[in-house]
């Protein structure tokens, strides 16, 4: 026999856990008693920060990350970040404290009523074991489910008095969770590509989740296909300097159809076909366009409108396609025209161009600056595997704490976190965690004094006057200093290089506020 606590930590080690992300409360203290030295406690000052740090860490390591939240209150504080983790497929095992079993019938202070319902539907599985001795088995099951493709967060509610109870340590399996695609389906896609006269590949985050960067390049080069990034993709999928890189597809059906209309074959890999941001009316797809999709996520296949759908591991499927397709010469002309160099003004385009020039080799870019996204696409190309992260769900507050988690996972790579002034305020407490962890992050705040992306989007609905979009009077240098992060402000274009070099050459966290014109 052993205690629930000892069994839990043995399970955590078995599944490769080396950090616990949390913000402790009274219902979690027994879990932390005699916490082993080989598992670090990573403190966040709000649960939104905690979950997003763990999300970044899990994505960057491609391992499950362990989270501990404070009963219902802490779970509620973290729900926005949990939604993002769910949409991004982050394998998080989230534990939450619960009041003592003897108190639950009396509606106690800090009691979580129907605790497993609170995080749904944005977890793959949720449980509150009926007996203390069932907690270890529930934790082992949670890891298994979180890691099974499509990966995602799970939730276990654990009463405070369970940790010291005796239990039997469950026997733990060694799991191999890669699901190989059906060879017949792969052969169908290969034949489709061989028949194509003008093929295109549309790549999504499944490329990054499966580690298929090189396989995607190989399929592009063997087929001569143009490569597009799927709408609203949250990860890097292809080197943007490549001659066959065509650009980024929008989340608007009418525009996307126009951009793909010149192709006779489109193969979507690691993404749905497609993710939309706003409604479109009367869109007609070309009748001669052949469509195929390969993904580890059955939900992607469920929304496929005709064509060929194949379920299975993206990397394995791509490798099989590369082996089967016939080689061909690509068109001589590049797929995408290069953007003209921006003028030296305080614009997002100029800031992105200078960051691209000055960034250290192998730097990782995290972006949560919606107004600057087009400028980033034009002037800050993503060139490396594991080199890009953005929110996959649309909610703000992911970027800043995720950068801290990613920096912890990749300590030898500089992390550049691009934030809008509005975005940065959702989880600004993450600056303290960056300082506490010594995270090697350059936070770059693009300050335009408001929610400019919302103003731009409002025009789609014919809105000229929009309340609640001005965000003025924020002092990001003072905010950073209050959290222990050195910071500088840039107001003139000729000051930009000095500030960026200072930040990127520094060890540990720094912040540069860029006042846009």
pLDDT band at 454 (very low <50, low <70, confident <90, very high): low
Q: Is the pLDDT of residue 280 over 90?
A: no
Say if 183-324 and 348-515 have the same CATH topology. Answer: yes
Residue 242: both structure tokens together: 């490549």
What's the DSSP call for residue 450? B
Gap between the Cα atoms of 176 and 389, Å rounded: 26
262-266, 276-280, 475-479: which has the minimum mean pLDDT?
276-280
Asked if the 2-167 domain carries CATH number 3.40.50.970, the reply is: yes
Among 22, 44, 46, 70, the one annotated catalytic: 70
Q: Which of 18-22, 27-31, 322-326 has the lowest mean pLDDT?
A: 27-31
The 10s digit of each residue's pLDDT in 412-426 is 999 999 999 999 999
Residue ranges covered by each domain of the chain: 2-167, 183-324, 348-515
Planar angle of CA 304, 309, 312, nearest 5 degrees: 120
pLDDT by residue (tens digit) across 324-370?
999 998 776 666 767 888 989 999 999 999 999 999 999 999 999 99
Tens digits of per-residue pLDDT, 292-312?
Answer: 999 999 999 999 989 999 999
Coarse DSSP helix, strand, coil percentages of the chain, rounded to the nearest 5 percent: 40, 20, 45
377 is catalytic: no
Distance CA 473, CA 485 (A): 20
- Please give the CATH number for the structural domain made up of 348-515: 3.40.50.970
- Can you tell me which residue has the tokens 């190309």? 381
CA dihedral 227, 231, 236, 237 (to 10 degrees): -30
Residue 20: beta bridge partners? 41, 66
Instruction: Single out the catalytic residue among 16, 26, 117, 306.
Output: 26
**Bridge partners for 447 per DSSP:** 515
Q: Does the pLDDT at position 1 exceed 90?
A: no
Res 77 pLDDT > 90: yes
- Give DSSP secondary structure letters for 260-325: HTT-SEEEEESS-S---SS---S----TT-EEEEEES-HHHHHT--SSEEEES-HHHHHHHHHHHS
Please say if 102 is a catalytic residue: no
How far apart (Å, rounded) are the C-alpha atoms in residues 311 and 295? 5
Cα 309 to Cα 189, 228, 271, 295, 454: the distances in Å are 9, 19, 12, 8, 36
Element (H, E) at 42: strand 40-43
Around Cβ 163, how many Cβ atoms within 10 Å?
Answer: 22
What's the pLDDT score for residue 403?
Answer: 99
| Chain Cα centroid distance, residue 188 | 31
CA distance 289 to 270: 20
Known active-site residue 394: yes
* Mean pLDDT, residues 120-132: 98
What does DSSP say about strands 126-127 and 308-311: parallel, antiparallel, or unpaired? Answer: unpaired
Class of residue 306 by CB neighbours under 10 A (exposed 0-12, middle 13-18, buried 19+): exposed
Catalytic residue list contains 26: yes
Residue tagged active-site, from 44, 47, 307, 442: 47
pLDDT at 430: 99
**367 counts as catalytic:** no
pLDDT tens by residue, 203-240 = 999 999 999 999 999 999 999 999 999 999 999 999 99
Of 277, 280, 506, 508, which residue is the catalytic one? 277
CATH classification for the domain delimited by 183-324, as one of 3.10.20.30, 3.30.930.10, 3.40.640.10, 3.40.50.1220:
3.40.50.1220
Question: Of the listed 22, 28, 236, 307, which one is catalytic?
Answer: 28
Active site residue 47: yes
């Amino acid at each position: 026999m052993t205690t629930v606590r000892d069994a839990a930590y043995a399970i955590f080690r078995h599944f490769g856990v080396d950090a616990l992300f949390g913000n402790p409360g009274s219902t979690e203290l027994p879990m932390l008693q005699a916490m082993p030295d080989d598992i670090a406690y990573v403190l966040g000052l709000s649960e939104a920060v905690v979950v997003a740090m763990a999300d970044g860490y899990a994505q960057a390591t491609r391992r499950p990350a362990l989270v501990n939240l404070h009963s219902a209150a802490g779970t509620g504080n973290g729900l926005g970040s949990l939604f993002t983790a769910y949409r991004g497929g982050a394998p998080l095992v989230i534990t939450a404290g619960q009041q003592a079993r003897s108190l639950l019938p009396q509606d106690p202070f800090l009691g979580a009523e129907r605790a497993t319902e609170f995080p749904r539907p944005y977890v793959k599985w949720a449980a509150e074991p009926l007996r203390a001795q069932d907690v270890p088995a529930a934790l082992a099951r949670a890891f298994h489910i979180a890691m099974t493709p499509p990966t995602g967060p799970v939730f276990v509610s654990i009463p405070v008095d369970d940790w010291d109870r005796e239990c039997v340590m469950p026997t733990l399996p060694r799991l191999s969770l890669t699901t190989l695609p059906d060879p017949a389906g792969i052969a169908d896609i290969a034949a489709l590509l061989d028949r194509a006269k003008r093929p295109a590949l549309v790549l999504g985050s499944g490329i990054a989740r499966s580690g298929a960067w090189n396989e995607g390049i190989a399929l592009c080069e063997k087929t001569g296909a143009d490569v597009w990034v799927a709408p609203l993709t949250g990860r890097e999928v292809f080197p943007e300097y490549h001659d066959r890189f065509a650009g980024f597809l929008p989340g608007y059906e009418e525009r996307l159809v126009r951009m793909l209309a010149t192709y006779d074959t489109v193969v979507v890999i690691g993404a749905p076909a497609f993710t939309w941001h706003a409604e479109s009316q009367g869109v007609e797809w070309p009748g001669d366009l052949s469509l195929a999709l390969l993904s580890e996520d059955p939900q992607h296949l469920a929304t496929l409108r005709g064509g060929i759908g194949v379920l299975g591991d993206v990397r394995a499927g791509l490798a099989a396609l590369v082996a089967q397709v016939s080689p061909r010469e690509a068109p001589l002309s590049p797929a995408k025209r290069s953007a003209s160099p921006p003028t030296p003004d305080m614009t997002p385009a100029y800031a992105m161009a200078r960051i691209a020039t000055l960034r250290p080799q192998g730097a990782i870019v995290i972006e949560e600056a919606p107004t600057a996204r087009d400028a980033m696409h034009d002037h800050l190309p993503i060139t490396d595997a594991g080199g890009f992260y953005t929110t996959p769900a649309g909610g703000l507050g992911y970027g800043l704490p995720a950068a801290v988690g990613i920096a912890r996972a990749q300590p030898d790579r500089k992390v550049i976190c691009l934030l809008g002034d509005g975005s940065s305020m959702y989880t600004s407490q993450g600056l303290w965690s960056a300082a506490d962890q010594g995270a090697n992050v350059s936070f770059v705040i693009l300050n335009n004094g408001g929610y400019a992306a919302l103003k731009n989007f409002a025009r789609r609905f014919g809105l000229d006057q929009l309340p609640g979009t001005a965000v003025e009077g924020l002092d990001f240098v003072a905010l950073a200093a209050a959290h222990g992060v050195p910071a500088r402000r840039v107001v003139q274009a000729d000051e930009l290089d000095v500030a960026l070099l200072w930040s990127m050459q520094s060890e540990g966290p720094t912040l540069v506020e860029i006042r846009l014109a």
